[in-house]
Amino acid sequence: MVLLGIILLPLRVIGVAVILLLAWPFARIATSCRPEKGSVPLTGWRRWMTHSVLTYLGRALFFAMGFQVTVKGKIASSTEAPILVVAPHSSFFDGIVCVLAGLPSIVSRAENLSAPLFGTILGSLQPVLVQRQDPDSRRNTINEITIRATSRGQWPQVLIFPEGTCTNRSCLITFKQGAFIPKVPVQPVLIRYPNKLFMPVHVPSEEEEENPVLFANRVRNKMASAFDVPVTDHTFEDCRLMISAGQLTLPMEAGLVEFTKISKKLNLKWDGIREQLDMFAAIANASKGGRIGIEEFADYLKLPVSDVLQELFLLFDRNGDGTIDFREYVIGLSVLCNPANTEETIQMAFKLFDVDDDGSITEDEFGCIIRSSLGIPDLDVSNLFKEIETDDSKKLSYAEFKDFALKHPEYAKLFTTYLELQRCHVHTEEDLNYHTFVARTPSVTKTKTPLSEKTPINKVCPEGNEEDNSSTSDKKDD
């Protein structure tokens, strides 16, 4: 076998090179002297040359590389199915579908047209070009696909790999919507080495025409059933996150979050999740498995492991395995921390720390609340205080406090939990004092003073002077 490979390899390379050199002049002639520059479809002898001569040479090219393909099913015409959706996409050699389908148009980057030899051949396929520098590129590409798909056969079919990336062929990931937005019939094409299957044309229902996501999912499910593989909610964005995770020295699988599902449910965008990956890496890099343990979580927050911190950790740890993966971290920030990390919450937390109402927070005031909230009376908070402080003034301004809170949303849940505990504590003591007073004075009118009028929210730490016995302090029972 090794000897056979050594003999065949140079022969195949020579054969491929000769066929490409033969195809180039035909592609050049078919696309030369066109003032429209691809804005109208090829017709007449130009179309015959691309669909006959170049198709024949394309078949010869793949034969020279050792491909003999068995085609199952019937290829639909451009009027029956203007769009061909091909899956699973796993290799450069999947381009053989383009040859067997009669050289339909494909979607390609505009820069590829400038490639020597290949650019001319690609141009003869009348591709839908993607201008990467154009901010409206996605919308323009979909508009162009729609124009061609609704041309009633004037343009050739458009071949699209709806997964948007290569996979390992073990499942079908989420389909992009570009092939389904035009609301035209599509023909699913399955690539199964060593054969290929053209499935019956799928004509969209009224419901599918109004919902491209539903259209894409039903076509994907039909193809997965025929291919006998499962479907997943992973997308090309998951691949990008995996690459980013590797660049951040995390295991690549740490970036898998099922982007489509999580972004839809939590209304998240790619840029936001990518920023959260940086935050996650800053914590998880201390561990070996790309996950956050309770120790890494505590070190990142510069707090000791306590009952309160463990409760917060368990809110993130959705499956209870003792670690937080990136998906759990994203959900935790989105569901627990970010909703609590509002301007109102930050202002309330600042007032909570600012015991003497002077518009700034000293280290003693800061430590008082942190120790009280965590239940650790001898906790050293100097390192955390210095991280928030930026000007060596020994005090925290509201701007410094807010900037830190926005960059570390994990603290927001601690703040809100502590505030609620304070309110519950105050209400409980109010009720006890009220019922005691009523029991001693039956004729009293049963009204209560509102909490906001009776107990300021920032008076939770004892000051130097003695307070009135009726006031409520967080340190009262310490």
Q: Which of 172, 194, 227 is the last residue of a domain?
A: 227
Contact between 170 and 116 (Cβ < 8 Å): no
Question: Do 219 and 176 share a structural domain?
Answer: yes
Question: Do 36 and 183 share a structural domain?
Answer: yes
Question: Do 127 and 44 share a structural domain?
Answer: yes
**CA Rg value for the chain:** 33
| Ranges of H-type helices in 43-136 | 44-48, 54-64, 96-100, 118-123
Q: What whole-number distance in Å separates Cα of residue 414 and Cα of residue 29?
A: 71
Q: Which of 227, 260, 289 is the last residue of a domain?
A: 227
Q: Please calculate the CA angle 245-249-250 and round it to the nearest 5 degrees.
A: 50
In a domain, 322, yes or no: no
**How many alpha carbons lie under 13 Å from residue 466 in its C-beta half-sphere?**
2
In a domain, 20, yes or no: yes
If one counts every other C-beta atom within 10 angstroms of the C-beta of residue 454, the result is 13
Q: Tens of pLDDT along 397-421?
A: 888 888 888 888 877 777 776 666 5
The three-class DSSP label of residue 320 is: coil
Q: Which of 196, 227, 258 is the last residue of a domain?
A: 227
Phi, psi (deg, nearest 5) at residue 292 = -105, 120
In a domain, 284, yes or no: yes
Q: Tens of pLDDT along 127-163?
A: 998 887 777 888 889 999 999 999 988 899 999 999 9
Report residue 126 as tokens: 């009348």
Question: Do 218 and 87 share a structural domain?
Answer: yes
Contact between 241 and 281 (Cβ < 8 Å): no
In a domain, 468, yes or no: no
CATH label of the domain that carries residue 423? 1.10.238.10
Q: What is the DSSP letter of 443?
A: T
Q: What whole-number distance in Å separates Cα of residue 458 and Cα of residue 477?
A: 17
Question: Do 259 and 149 share a structural domain?
Answer: no
| Residue 166: domain span | 2-227
Q: What whole-number distance in Å separates Cα of residue 65 and Cα of residue 4?
A: 14
pLDDT at 265: 84
pLDDT at 467: 40
Question: Do 212 and 105 share a structural domain?
Answer: yes
Question: Do 56 and 30 share a structural domain?
Answer: yes
Question: Do 154 and 25 share a structural domain?
Answer: yes
| Ranges of H-type helices in 155-211 | 206-210
**How many alpha carbons lie under 13 Å from residue 235 in its C-beta half-sphere?**
16
Going by DSSP bridges, is the β-strand pair 195-198/395-396 parallel, antiparallel, or unpaired?
Answer: unpaired
Question: Do 240 and 222 share a structural domain?
Answer: no
In a domain, 391, yes or no: yes
| Ranges of H-type helices in 250-381 | 259-266, 270-284, 294-301, 307-316, 326-332, 343-353, 363-374
Question: Residue 229's closest CA among 163, 165, 168, 169?
Answer: 169
How close are the terminal C-alpha atoms of the chain, in Å? 82
Whole-angstrom CA distances from 297 to 129, 254, 284, 304, 308 are 47, 17, 8, 10, 13
In a domain, 285, yes or no: yes
* Greatest pairwise CA separation for the chain in angstroms: 110
In a domain, 325, yes or no: no
Contact between 356 and 465 (Cβ < 8 Å): no
Q: What is the DSSP letter of 188?
A: E
In a domain, 466, yes or no: no
Q: Please calculate the CA angle 284-327-214 and round it to the nearest 5 degrees.
A: 155
Question: Do 79 and 14 share a structural domain?
Answer: yes
Question: Do 440 and 362 share a structural domain?
Answer: yes
Residue 102 is which amino acid?
Answer: G
Q: Please calculate the CA angle 9-88-290 and round it to the nearest 5 degrees.
A: 95
* Residues of the chain with confidence (pLDDT) below 50: 426, 437, 441, 443-460, 462-478
Question: Residue 309's closest CA among 423, 418, 459?
Answer: 418
Phi, psi (deg, nearest 5) at residue 191 = -105, 115
Question: Do 144 and 223 share a structural domain?
Answer: yes
Q: How many domains are there within the chain?
A: 3
pLDDT at 463: 44
Phi, psi (deg, nearest 5) at residue 159 = -100, 125
This prediction's pTM: 0.65
Report residue 87 as tokens: 């899956």
Residue 202 is which amino acid?
Answer: H
